[in-house]
Amino acid sequence: MKKIFIDGIIDESIQLPADTAHHLFHVLRHSKEEPFIVSNHQGHTGEFVLISEESDIYMAKRLRTIDVSTSATKVVLIQSFLKGDKFEFLLQKATELNVHHIYGVSSVHCVAKYDAKKLNAKKSRWEKIIIEASQQCGRPDVPTLTVEQSLSEVLQTLQSDEGFLLLGAYEREDDKTIKDILQTQLHTNSYHIIAICIGPEGGYSPTEMELLESCGGHKVSLGATILRAETAALSAVSMIQYELLD
């Protein structure tokens, strides 16, 4: 069954955004007589069917509410900006891997640099990629994307949550693997948020790793080989999700 996302509250009847309806019925060629799934960005979900269409006004009624269970522990990805289309690829795959919140940040070794105007335009495109990936993979919600904060600001925001575990992938870390930290911490503590920090193509600077540790973070190794930034992010998220499985 096809799925779409809308903003706002999901009531007994809803008006579908014209561009979303056009994509559903004309691009995806979903039959107007067949039901479809609608979720908002908070994960509220229902099964709907189109009841009227006039010009660009599409009205649908709810057939049933769908209860969706989500993990009690949210995975957060703090990712330094990457050059080219690597960041877009990462957004798509992180969405499929059920990341709850993605922070895009600038760091010392970033090749990709954005001023405020360009970043705002990029964010609109990136959010569209995330929504499309959410629809494709069938997840009930849409990850939040934040790109306006520095690494320091992001860590300070997350640090205010007592149930917060912070990890930072560091290629010079030889003693502790992400598996070691996750198994030790999850065995003795409960967390609302597990955040993984991934640097840019050149990795994090020593100063940035000191910042992470000052916020209670753990430096972790992702294995014996040096991974590309986008590979490191997806590898780390997959490891976290595996350890969270019941």
Q: What is the pLDDT of residues 223-241, one digit of tens each?
A: 989 899 999 999 999 999 9
HEC string of the chain equals CCEEEECCCCCCEEEECHHHHHHHHHHCCCCCCCCEEEEECCCCEEEEEEEEEECCEEEEEEEEEECCCCCCCEEEEEEECCCCCHHHHHHHHHHHCCCCEEEEECCCCCCCCCCHHHHHHHHHHHHHHHHHHHHHHCCCCCCEEECCCCHHHHHHHHHCCCCEEEEEECCCCCCCEHHHHHHHHHHHCCCCEEEEEECCCCCCCHHHHHHHHHCCCEEEECCCCCCCHHHHHHHHHHHHHHHHCC
Domain hosting residue 123, numbered range: 74-244
Residue pLDDT, tens place only, 65-99:
988 766 789 999 999 999 989 999 999 999 999 99
Q: What is the pTM of this model?
A: 0.84
Q: Say yes or no: 48 and 89 in one domain.
A: no
The number of distinct structural domains making up the chain is 2
Q: Say yes or no: 144 and 41 in one domain.
A: no
Q: Say yes or no: 97 and 36 in one domain.
A: no
Q: Say yes or no: 116 and 35 in one domain.
A: no
Judged by average pLDDT, the poorest of 42-46, 69-73, 102-106, 210-214 is: 69-73
